[in-house]
């Protein structure tokens, strides 16, 4: 059973400099926190929720008109319930994969999005939402820079001048209370930060120092968590925290946006933090160390995503 412990709430309307100490404390503790006082319009969030529900209410054959196999190397589009794996086990969710709207190219995970004909307004809502939440993400990275004793624009100068921005909409059908499967199994995210909007259903839990912690929905708040690259670059000072979802209430929607390093960026430890303890790989859900890996962020991401969609990996890459 998850612990009844609330995550810290960061109010960015107070100014990011004022928020930096609270961000630092949250990143050192669980690597999760709520963000309020942001500028992402509430009506945009509501419009996106309604349009997403319209799409997921369609039959699978209609949704398959934009299935991920049609997205090619861009890895965009819809996948059915059970179509995504975590640690080799199918998640009990379906989803839509989006990203920055880019021209067709050879680079994986970059390119044009696939949008359905119905509901027609989904395209505009998704692209507007990606822009708004990405701006919030850059603000939060400035706060993390300050929390680490760096210049506010350190991330923009070194890792996110041309970031990889990926956006997902996930639909989780309700599981029976005695169903032992997971809506999403235990995992960590891969990049820098994830900015998540969730509906009122609940079901998200994070692994804190003393056990699993429920993350109940907070009105007009985003849940922010750290990815593997922040754990790597801080030498373990900040944690990429495992989290999972079991939805047993009603149909649940979540909207995670991943703000990650540039595809070609080599993510190295921050020099003045290089002597911090790096942690034990056995503590991670996958038993792997992000500190022993080297290469570009694109290399790291392809390895991870290929395990999530092995058939698509084999077909496309």
Q: What is the 3-state secondary structure (H, E, C) of the chain?
A: CCECCCCCEEEHHHCHHHHHHHHHHHHHHCCEEEEECCCCCHHHHHHHHHHHHHHHCCCHHHHHHHEHHHHHHHCCEEECCCCCEECCEECCCEEEEEECCCCCCCCCCCCCCCCCCCCCCHHHHHHHHHHHHHHHHHHHHHHHHHHCCCCCCHHHHHCCCCCEEEEEEEEECCCCCCCCCCCEEEECECCCEEEEEECCCCCEEEEECCEEEECCCCCCCEEEEEEHHHHHHCCCCCCCCCEEECCCCCCEEEEEEEEECCCCCECCCCHHHCCCCCCCHHHCCCCCCCCCCCCEHHHHHHHHHHHHCHHHHHHHC
Predicted confidence at residue 275, as pLDDT, reads 47
The full set of domains in the chain, from first to last, is: 9-316 (2.60.120.330)
Span 223-234, average pLDDT? 96
What does the mean pLDDT of the chain come to? 92
Give the predicted TM-score (pTM) of the model: 0.94
Q: Which pLDDT tens digit goes with each residue over 66-120?
A: 999 999 999 999 999 999 999 889 999 999 999 999 999 889 999 999 999 999 9
pLDDT at 6 over 90: no
For residue range 257-301, list pLDDT tens digits in order: 999 999 999 998 887 775 444 555 446 556 677 888 888 999 999
Give percent above pLDDT 70 in the chain.
94
**pLDDT higher than 70, residue 317:** no
């Amino acid at each position: 059973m998850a612990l009844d412990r609330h995550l810290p709430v960061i109010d960015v309307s107070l100014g990011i400099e004022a928020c930096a100490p609270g961000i630092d404390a949250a990143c050192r503790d669980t690597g999760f926190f709520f963000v309020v006082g942001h500028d992402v319009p509430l009506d945009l969030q509501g419009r996106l929720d309604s349009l997403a529900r319209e799409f997921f209410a369609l039959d699978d054959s209609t949704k398959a008109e934009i299935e991920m196999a049609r997205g090619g190397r861009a890895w965009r589009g819809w996948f059915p319930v059970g179509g995504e794996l975590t640690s080799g086990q199918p998640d009990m969710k379906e989803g839509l994969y989006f990203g920055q709207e880019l021209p067709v190219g050879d680079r994986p995970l970059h390119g044009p999005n696939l949008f359905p004909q119905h509901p027609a307004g989904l395209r505009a809502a998704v692209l507007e939402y990606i822009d708004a939440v990405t701006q919030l993400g850059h603000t939060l990275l400035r706060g993390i820079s300050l929390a680490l004793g760096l210049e506010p624009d350190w991330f923009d100068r070194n890792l996110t001048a041309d970031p990889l921005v990926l956006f997902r909409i996930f639909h989780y059908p309700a599981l029976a209370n005695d169903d032992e499967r997971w809506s999403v199994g235990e995992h960590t995210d891969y990049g820098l930060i994830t900015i998540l909007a969730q509906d009122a259903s609940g079901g998200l839990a994070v692994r804190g120092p003393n056990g699993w912690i429920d993350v109940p929905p907070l009105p007009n708040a985003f849940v922010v968590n750290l990815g593997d690259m922040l754990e790597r670059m801080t030498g373990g000072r900040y944690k990429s925290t495992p989290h999972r979802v079991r939805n047993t209430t009603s149909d649940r929607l979540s909207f995670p946006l991943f703000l990650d390093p540039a595809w070609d960026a080599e993510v190295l430890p921050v020099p003045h933090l290089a002597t911090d303890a790096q942690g034990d790989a056995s503590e991670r859900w996958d038993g792997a160390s992000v500190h022993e890996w080297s290469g570009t962020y694109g290399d790291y991401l392809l390895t991870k995503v290929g395990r999530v969609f092995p058939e698509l990996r084999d077909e496309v890459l």
